Amino acid sequence: MQRFENAKEAALALRPDDPVYCFRPEVLKADCRQFMDMFPGKTAYAVKTNGENMVLKTLVEAGVTAFDAASPGEFAAVRAVSADAEMLYMHPVKAQSDIRLALEKYGIRVIALDHEDEITKLTRVVRALDIDPGTITVFVRIQTKGSAAYELSKKFGAGPAYAVELAERLNRNGYKVGLCFHVGSQIQDPDTYERALASADWVRNRVSFDIAGLDVGGGFPADYGSDPNSKKPEMPSIGQIMSRLRGDLKEYGFDEMPLVAEPGRVIVARAFSLIVRVLLRKGRRIYINDGIWASLSDSWTGKLALPARFIPDPAIRSRNGSEKNIVPFKVCGATCDSVDILSRPFWLPETIDTGDWIEIGHIGAYSLSLRTRFNGFYPDTFVEVTTPFEAGDAPEGLASMETMAAE
């Protein structure tokens, strides 16, 4: 992989017409270690956030020994970087053949579920493979209510009373039983984890045995840069969220048992930025070489404001306006699909023109993992960058903001 100081240097050297992902392994390691230092338990990185080989490999180098993997593809991706990393199979709804693969081929012994039919599937596999259920920890996923950029609690989770039933049944069948929840992604309300802990506490107090551990899931917010026009309160920092969580864990008496977290976004968001090119400027509209079918679907559906830096093409000699004047541009994506228009503008210097580049920061989570080959476009160029996105000149703009429409 080619290495550059920063994205501007990469853009001016390569003059890329295709999108270029700028990978910052040192930032990834630092953010990962920061999380592991703050969380009082095991850190299992959620592979779906960004399962690139370079990411998983770097995380292993940073000291990650456990991964939350949800599918055969993710099991293989983890095994490709580590022969002995532990995998936690935390997807509540699974194909029986995938459960068998997890237990038989990958030696997975930690699994989550939220329904009795999943116990039936699991037990069929456990009996067929003649595994002692006492070697398996089953986490019962509890339904939670919260406020996150992505609410995932509507899709999965057992109500507290049903969770008690599932836990008792698992215990009778000889499994070790833990409790887990996942509050959604990019949580915005610091009370979110406490509400989930209160549900877990309710369940724990009603089961007839000691639970084997608690998994608090993911959802920890990445620090994306703030939208100066937003009236929303400032997002709590990861430090604030974590000290609150540690206090709450203690208060509910969960601090004496094995704890697990499954962070994704908070670990990998800052590790990548993306250089895109302006293929055409048409008034207050720009057509870029990426879009909702490639790297930009998450910032779009999650209403995230990503920081953006203008990289002017020095070959453009004459420009109109002032580089200091930051204005909204409607952004059209690379494909011929008319849906491929971002619902929110990018805020950029009014001087931007056909041929310039934009570096979009903090795009490591749910960007390249969600790209498609639609219309023949598939961004797949990577460079390594040594300087963190925040270093150097402050980014001038924002990619995607929810407060104003471009037109």
Ligand X SMILES: *Cc1c(COP(=O)(O)O)cnc(C)c1O
- Residues carrying an active site annotation: 336
277 binds ligand X (CB under 6 A): no
Q: How far is the CB of 219 from ligand X (least distance, A)?
A: 5
309 binds ligand X (CB under 6 A): no
Q: How far is the CB of 107 from ligand X (least distance, A)?
A: 20
Return phi, psi of residue 333, to 5°: -85, 180
List the structure tokens of 17: 């017409």
The C-alpha angle 249, 151, 272, rounded to 5 degrees, equals: 85
SS3 179: strand
Contact yes or no for 77/60 (Cβ under 8 A) = no
Site string for ligand X, 352-381 (x = CB under 6 A): -------------x----------------
Q: Which of 49, 58, 48 is nearest to 1 (CA)?
A: 58
Q: What is the CA radius of gyration of the chain?
A: 23
Residue selected from 6, 22, 43, 68 as contacting ligand X according to rule CB under 6 A: 68
Number of residues located near ligand X, criterion CB under 6 A: 17
299 binds ligand X (CB under 6 A): no
Tell me, rounded to whole angstroms, the distance of Cα 16 from its chain centroid: 27
304 binds ligand X (CB under 6 A): no
Cβ proximity to ligand X, 70 vs 167, nearer residue: 70
Q: How far is the CB of 110 from ligand X (least distance, A)?
A: 12
Residues 246-265 that bind ligand X (CB under 6 A): 262-265
Render 330-391 in DSSP notation, one character per residue.
EEE-SSS-TT-B-SSPEEEETT--TT-EEEEPS--SSSGGG---GGG----EEEEE-S-TTS
Q: How far is the CB of 78 from ligand X (least distance, A)?
A: 14
219 binds ligand X (CB under 6 A): yes
Cβ proximity to ligand X, 142 vs 334, nearer residue: 142
Cβ proximity to ligand X, 262 vs 356, nearer residue: 262
List the structure tokens of 156: 């999965």
Q: How far is the CB of 293 from ligand X (least distance, A)?
A: 21
Cβ proximity to ligand X, 264 vs 397, nearer residue: 264
Contact yes or no for 375/337 (Cβ under 8 A) = yes
Return phi, psi of residue 46, to 5°: -80, 105
36 binds ligand X (CB under 6 A): no
- Which region among 34-42, 57-65, 201-209, 211-219 touches ligand X (by CB under 6 A)? 211-219
The Cα-based distances of 85 to 88, 266, 381 in angstroms read 10, 21, 28
- Which region among 42-50, 302-310, 354-362, 386-394 touches ligand X (by CB under 6 A)? 42-50
Site string for ligand X, 69-108 (x = CB under 6 A): ---------------------x------------------
Q: Is 69 left (phi over 0), alpha (psi -120 to 50) or beta?
A: beta
Return phi, psi of residue 406, to 5°: -75, -20
Q: How far is the CB of 254 from ligand X (least distance, A)?
A: 18
- Give the interface with ligand X as residue ranges (CB under 6 A): 46, 48-49, 68, 90, 182, 185, 217-220, 262-266, 365
